[in-house]
Amino acid sequence: MSYFAFSDGITNDNYNYSVACSSKYYVYVTETGKSLALDFNNFIRMFPPPPPFSMWGTPFGHLDQYENLVILNSKQEYDEKVSQANTNTNTNKTLEYESDSTKISENIFNHVCNSNNEEIQYLNLLRYILHKGTWETGRNGRTKSIFGHSMRFSLENGRIPIITTKKTAWKTCLKELLWFIRGETDTQTLKDQGVHIWDANTTREFLDSRGLNSYREGLIGPGYGYQWRHFNEKYDTNSGKPVTNDDINDNNKNDNNKNDYDCDQLQQIIDSLKDPSKRTSRRLIMSAWNPCQLDDMALPPCHLLCQFNVHDGNKLSCALYQRSCDVFLGVPFNIASYAFLTHLLANHCGLEAYEFIHFMGNCHIYENAVDACKLQIERKPFPFPIISIEQIRDNIDDYQVEDFEIYNYEHHEQIKVDMIA
């Protein structure tokens, strides 16, 4: 079944849709949907539906429980409304039916064609948290939050979802990703490149608060990229690298201290993606969540598990699960980072990047970012830019920022908000 919908299209010049609108959504269910105008799945992602409609959609079999929806009984009824809409929009651009409060505007169809609808998903999430989230007090302050959300972003034809409604520091994001890929944990490497996003979480005070008194300042512990490349290997708190058997002195040589295996998750995935007989495996999973070493990390990983999937011969997609999502500051980085990773792996393994899917657990906005979110959702997105990776290197560790080119990144001004460690 395919679901399609009309809305009254309440808008203003900034494409700001009212979450609290009282509009009705007209839905018709059809087997093919070829002649219908608007896909219901995309519609839900693009426009904030009125309460109690779920921001991320609803089980299709239960649409009739929503008082805001009018389910049409036949294709004929649907065609009649389309015909009415086409006739009336040539004169006054709106069609009134049932009451003055429910209208179908041609603007909604223009917006579908002309807007960056995938970024509107993200703006809708900000808006929904502001309107429907609950205030919670946690480890590092007050947040307004919801639980459970998902978004999808196309990566076809070189598209890369770098948020445009504020300037996103994509080079900073890419430098961190390449640092993860190399399995590094010493933030001095990032600082040397002008990247300071880990500074607050690797100070002496912060590390001591986590009980990591033996760590030298600047180490994040065996987190993120370390688990990608050295899963569960013993961590050297001086070098920030895996302990080798040669490093263990004669007095401490016992089975508990030895690293008896080297689990390089990322390389295993690369090897499988390069092998036509293995690339369609449903086991291409990379986990940063290692319960055995969580207490050794400066921060337990927020983006903790991703799965890669190849379909139709050569189309590579990535799905990410993220347990904790700082939607204003962190999520734009997370989207861009895993989109970069998917493009990189596709290029490196002779595939084509297809889609990034983002599954999120606790989605929150910090109290100090509320006004910034209100400003951002007023802005109209630009089209996403295009990525080009200039060469294929022999080793995944050898890629440099200079290997990546981003074209046509048009964006609004930066919105500054302090990160809360």
Residues 201, 164 within the same domain? yes
- The pLDDT of 344-353, averaged and rounded, is 98
* DSSP string for 317-381: EEEEEEEEEETTTHHHHHHHHHHHHHHHHHHHHT-EEEEEEEEEEEEEEEGGGHHHHHHHTTSPP
Give the pLDDT of residue 261.
62
CA gap 412, 211 in Å, rounded: 41
Q: How are strands ordered across the β-sheet holding 315-326?
A: 134-138, 141-154, 352-366, 315-326, 303-311, 285-287
Whether the per-residue pLDDT at 136 is higher than 50: the answer is: yes
Burial class of residue 81, CB neighbours in 10 A (0-12, 13-18, 19+): middle
Final residue in a domain of this structure, among 52, 80, 114: 114
Closest residue by Cα to residue 227 from 163, 178, 180: 180
Task: Please check whether residue 87 lies inside any domain of the structure.
Answer: yes
Whether the per-residue pLDDT at 263 is higher than 80: the answer is: yes
Give the pLDDT of residue 101.
33
Six-digit token string for 393: 């290197």
Residue linked to tokens 């979110």: 373
Give the pLDDT of residue 73.
55
Segment 288-344, tens digit of pLDDT: 999 999 999 999 999 999 999 999 999 999 999 999 999 999 999 999 999 999 999
Whether the per-residue pLDDT at 150 is higher than 90: the answer is: yes
Confidence of residue 260 (pLDDT cuts 50, 70, 90): low
Tell me if 183 sits within 8 A of 175, measured CB to CB. Answer: no
Q: State phi, psi for 19 to the nearest 5 degrees.
A: -65, -30
Task: Give me the number of domains the chain comprises.
Answer: 2
Whether the per-residue pLDDT at 420 is higher than 70: the answer is: yes
- Structural domain boundaries enclosing 129: 117-407
Task: Please check whether residue 418 lies inside any domain of the structure.
Answer: no
Report helix angle 330-349 to 265-274, nearest 10: 50
Closest residue by Cα to residue 46 from 122, 126, 120: 120
Residues 186, 316 within the same domain? yes
Segment 63-107, tens digit of pLDDT: 444 344 455 556 566 667 667 656 655 544 433 333 333 333 344
Confidence of residue 114 (pLDDT cuts 50, 70, 90): low
Residues 315, 270 within the same domain? yes
Residues 80, 189 within the same domain? no
State the catalytic residue, choosing from 302, 325, 349, 363. 302
Residues 87, 121 within the same domain? no
Mean pLDDT of the chain: 80
Give the pLDDT of residue 170.
98
Segment 66-75, tens digit of pLDDT: 344 455 556 5
Task: Please check whether residue 246 lies inside any domain of the structure.
Answer: yes
Residues 188, 161 within the same domain? yes
Apex 105 CA angle, 102 and 107, nearest 5: 145
Give the pLDDT of residue 264.
97
- The pLDDT of 337-360, averaged and rounded, is 98
Task: Please check whether residue 147 lies inside any domain of the structure.
Answer: yes
Whether the per-residue pLDDT at 40 is higher than 50: the answer is: no
Residues 262, 397 within the same domain? yes
Closest residue by Cα to residue 274 from 189, 348, 179: 348
Which is more confident, 140 or 372?
Answer: 372
Whether the per-residue pLDDT at 134 is higher than 70: the answer is: yes
Residues 163, 246 within the same domain? yes
Residues 148, 87 within the same domain? no
Task: Please check whether residue 415 lies inside any domain of the structure.
Answer: no
Residues 58, 157 within the same domain? no
Whether the per-residue pLDDT at 53 is higher than 80: the answer is: no
Six-digit token string for 132: 């429907």
Task: Please check whether residue 277 lies inside any domain of the structure.
Answer: yes
Task: Please check whether residue 216 lies inside any domain of the structure.
Answer: yes
Closest residue by Cα to residue 340 from 289, 399, 281: 399
Whether the per-residue pLDDT at 192 is higher than 70: the answer is: yes
Whether the per-residue pLDDT at 286 is higher than 90: the answer is: yes
Confidence of residue 262 (pLDDT cuts 50, 70, 90): confident
- Give the DSSP H/E element, type plus range, for residue 84: helix 75-89
Tell me the CATH number at 252.
3.30.572.10
Final residue in a domain of this structure, among 64, 81, 114: 114
Give the pLDDT of residue 138.
86
349 given a catalytic annotation: no
Q: State phi, psi for 156 to the nearest 5 degrees.
A: -65, 150
Final residue in a domain of this structure, among 82, 114, 146: 114
Give the pLDDT of residue 60.
34
Closest residue by Cα to residue 227 from 304, 164, 308, 322: 304
User: Does pTM top 0.85 for this prediction?
Assistant: no
Which is more confident, 126 or 115?
Answer: 126
Whether the per-residue pLDDT at 56 is higher than 50: the answer is: no
Residues 24, 139 within the same domain? no
Query: What b/e readout covers 36-56, taking b as 16+ CB neighbours within 10 angstroms?
Result: bebbbebbbbbbbbbbebebb
CA gap 317, 125 in Å, rounded: 22
Task: Please check whether residue 98 lies inside any domain of the structure.
Answer: no
Residues 197, 85 within the same domain? no
